[in-house]
Amino acid sequence: MLLAIDCGNTNALFAVHDGNRWCSQWRTATNTSRTADEYAVWLHQLLAMDQLELGDIDACIISTVVPQSLFHLRNLSRRYLKCEPMVIGEGDLTLSITSATDNPAEVGADRLVNAVGARSLVEGALLLVDSGTATTFDVVTADDKFIGGAISPGMYLSLEALHDAAAKLPRIAMQKPEKSIGTNTINAMQTGIFWGHVEMIDGLVRRIRKEYGKPMTVIGTGGVSPLFDGASTEIARFESDLTIRGLLEIYRQNAGQNV
């Protein structure tokens, strides 16, 4: 079995694939001080709930944008799964998507992995909108080149910044408001952040599509993306599992195994 780990700035996703399907998926808050032993205890308990064991896992692949967490995740694989993990961005891993940016080393691992996952679903040029801690816009050409995109603050990051910078504005829960005119402070914050973010997404998508000048499929992904389903007029489809799909594809391409 394969353990795929996607460690983002806010959350880390652990998913187990048995060769035919994803058996289990769990999320935990990203904590750079969490040790391999602590991960193992947490993972052991969750596996047991699904009638699985650490010993059932014999392969691991890791994608992380948090360098401080990689040491502990690598040790988790080595010590408890008894295998050397594949790490996106290290070694000579082959990716079906190549970076054609000014500085390929700067491109976040998650962005390339998403591109690989999207390519397994859709042919032709792609624009991927990943809504998480940051909202990223990634352009992939029809001949599998990642050529760049845009990065903006994510919706929840914007919400926290608004609360932190304005003394009288409370910390609120985000939800999709029905109207654009808020009738109280909380409504006004929700509509400003939510619909403002939707318009930012749709506006940047239109601008990128016009600049690219060729047809492209726009796919939404990321932990926040379900909120935008039905709100964005420019995102054609939503795929919540692009990252783990990409990790599985990369593992298959490099392991030479039918996993």
Neighbour count for residue 134 (Cβ, 10 Å)? 18
Which alpha helices (H) appear in the chain, and where do they start and end?
36-49, 67-80, 109-119, 155-165, 185-212, 242-255
Residue type, 140: V
Tell me if 27 sits within 8 A of 12, measured CB to CB.
Answer: yes
Rounded to 5, what percent of the chain is helix, strand, coil?
Answer: 40, 25, 35
Tell me if 154 sits within 8 A of 132, measured CB to CB.
Answer: yes
Tell me if 45 sits within 8 A of 51, measured CB to CB.
Answer: no
Report the catalytic residues: 110
* Integer Cα distance of 141 and 197 in angstroms: 26
Q: Is the dihedral of CA 128, 218, 148, 134 positive or negative?
A: negative
* Integer Cα distance of 207 and 223 in angstroms: 24
Strands (DSSP E) contained in 59-144 are 59-64, 86-87, 98-99, 126-131, 134-140
